Chains A and B, each alone.
Chain A
């Protein structure tokens, strides 16, 4: 099947109004804070939730008023939800049977799909005996066997451990090939591995969109910055870097924006060094938070991740003034895209 997705999803009671396009062979990652409407968008596209308005067009076919079972839209959710009363092979054959295939053809498609995601050996097992990663790969095969015109992935690996994630991600890469795919994820690695393009939702609206690497490297929205682990600041371009809106300057060696333009800058919080004396913008510490063995220092628009011993040596505490020293080679200054 070919043909891309064009959708406008409006669900007023959840504050969602999102317009999306996904190319015929494109994978788009939908990211955003919790409760911002990502799963709502997928439910509407799958036909599991009736929208308040908008339309869903897939490959020229209008799906807006079709029930879920007539859409040809496949969904892999966080939980595998394999039918417990059927074997693995029976689960994967369920879709072909439902769309009218005979038993023989359904079995063939079932074993082909299981082989495609590398779990052919599990065909006769009962779902209850599978590990989380195995079950999720079978769920991928089950969707693959229906040859969906649109593939929806709702946090497909978030319930799995790290090793299982890699296996499931490989299966997903197989499944997404040749069809439009929409991926909801909280994992930047997953977005990079699977998605060509990133759409950032904030408060039920599209806040930002662009190629995955561009959005992650030069984010425009606060969520996209935190998604890629960067600190995002706003200001005005100067000859050597950026004059921050909240006061102070950061110098960048890589910047090319003419002075005077409104710009954004990002740096990674681990390269910033708080100091009592010297240069760098001065801020009042808002909070100290433990974070992966480091201490995250939040002070207005600036953030630094330091070791516990550094934080102790500086005797940092909320309410105190501190200067932020950021190496000029680590600061990226750019104009907001679009």
Chain B
């Protein structure tokens, strides 16, 4: 017995264990369906490899863009005292609760050939919808809120006292941002990047709606899995396992990171 711990109700472990199994059992069941004999061949087929490379590339690009745009947003949200910030935050975090298909429709309305921005870009010879760029945009749209809220949480802890100290030492706002704020919230930034990357990697609905499913151009791993499910369930399961492994690696890396930070 660990001393000094408040007791939990005797019945509490029952729903808790059921909850844990609810998540673990389906994944294990899927792993059980993997045909190990042909696993290597299925995963390294041209269609699979192109989907995997496309997925990793677009998710990385989306994470980079989300960081460049989302970090400043998080800083403004955490610093501003305006009451409109609450409204702005709710709007920016909307993709968290929006069905991805709806997000895809919204992106089409904006960046599609007839959309507000899309029509303008089309006149200048730039087509976005149904290109790899569209995949990155869809992933950024859906995943950026994870990054923003994760970094904003880190920024709010501890307030701005170190930034005030830096100012009295003669550091201007840019220097303070780069040499004080950023190192201080680095753990929050890293976990935000991990969450954002994981969400971008799993993106399906918005991508399908806004970018379509062209092999090598917009067909990311989740789209490939969905397609193969109809044609070749063995390939679908094998590719799904690849995504599970990538997700485990990402989550494992982030928990290791949090541990060291807590210590």
Contacts and interface: CB of A to CB of B under 8 A. Distances in A.
Contacts of A146: 169-170
Contact of A72 (B170, B176, B183): B170
B241 to A, nearest CB: 39
Contacts of B180: 83
Given A81-B161, A81-B162, A84-B184, A98 B175 contact: yes
Contacts of B179: 94
A143 interface: yes
A69 B167 contact: yes
Nearest to B176: A69
B168 A68 contact: yes
A291 B36 CA distance: 81
Interface string A61-86: 00000011110111101010101110
B164 A98 contact: no
B165 interface: yes
A141 to B, nearest CB: 12
B171 interface: yes
B184 A142 contact: no
Nearest to A152: B168
A165 to B, nearest CB: 21
B175 A83 contact: no
B166 interface: yes
B193 to A, nearest CB: 18
Interface string A131-154: 000000000001100100000000
A48 interface: yes
A311 to B, nearest CB: 43
A47 B161 contact: no
A95 B170 contact: yes
Contact of A46 (B166, B168, B171, B176): B168
A142 B161 contact: no
Interface string A42-55: 00001110000000
B168 A73 contact: yes
B187 to A, nearest CB: 11
B172 interface: yes
B170 A47 contact: no
B40 to A, nearest CB: 45
A99 interface: yes
A75 B170 CA distance: 11
Residue from A47, A48, A74, A94 whose CB has the most chain B CB atoms within 10 Å: A94
Contact of B167 (A48, A83, A84, A142): A48
Q: Please tell me the size bucket of the interface on B.
A: 10 to 19
Residue from A46, A48, A83 whose CB has the most chain B CB atoms within 10 Å: A83
Contacts of B176: 69
B72 to A, nearest CB: 20
Nearest to B168: A75
A97 to B, nearest CB: 8
A113 to B, nearest CB: 12
Contacts of A48: 164, 167-168
Nearest to A47: B167
A83 to B, nearest CB: 6
B16 to A, nearest CB: 36
Residue from A98, A142, A143 whose CB has the most chain B CB atoms within 10 Å: A98
A72 B167 CA distance: 10
Nearest to A76: B168
A94 B173 CA distance: 14
Contacts of A85: 183-184, 186
Contacts of A81: 161-162, 165
Nearest to B161: A81
Given A84-B184, A85-B183, A85-B184, A98 B162 contact: no
A137 to B, nearest CB: 16
A146 B166 CA distance: 11
A79 B161 CA distance: 10
Contacts of A142: 169
A100 B175 CA distance: 11
A98 B168 contact: no
A46 B166 CA distance: 12
B160 to A, nearest CB: 10
Nearest to B183: A85
Given A83-B180, A84-B184, A85-B183, A99 B165 contact: no
Contacts of B164: 48, 68
B166 A94 contact: yes
Contacts of A72: 170
Contacts of A69: 166-173, 176
Given A81-B162, A83-B162, A98-B175, A68 B167 contact: yes
Given A69-B167, A69-B169, A75-B165, 16 more contacts: A46-B168, A47-B168, A68-B167, A69-B166, A69-B173, A74-B169, A81-B162, A83-B180, A85-B184, A94-B171, A95-B171, A98-B166, A98-B171, A98-B172, A146-B169, A146-B170
8 nearest CB pairs, A to B: A68-B167, A98-B171, A95-B169, A85-B183, A98-B170, A75-B168, A99-B170, A69-B167
Interface of B: 161-162, 164-173, 175-176, 179-180, 183-184, 186
5 contacts: A69-B168, A81-B161, A83-B162, A98-B175, A146-B169
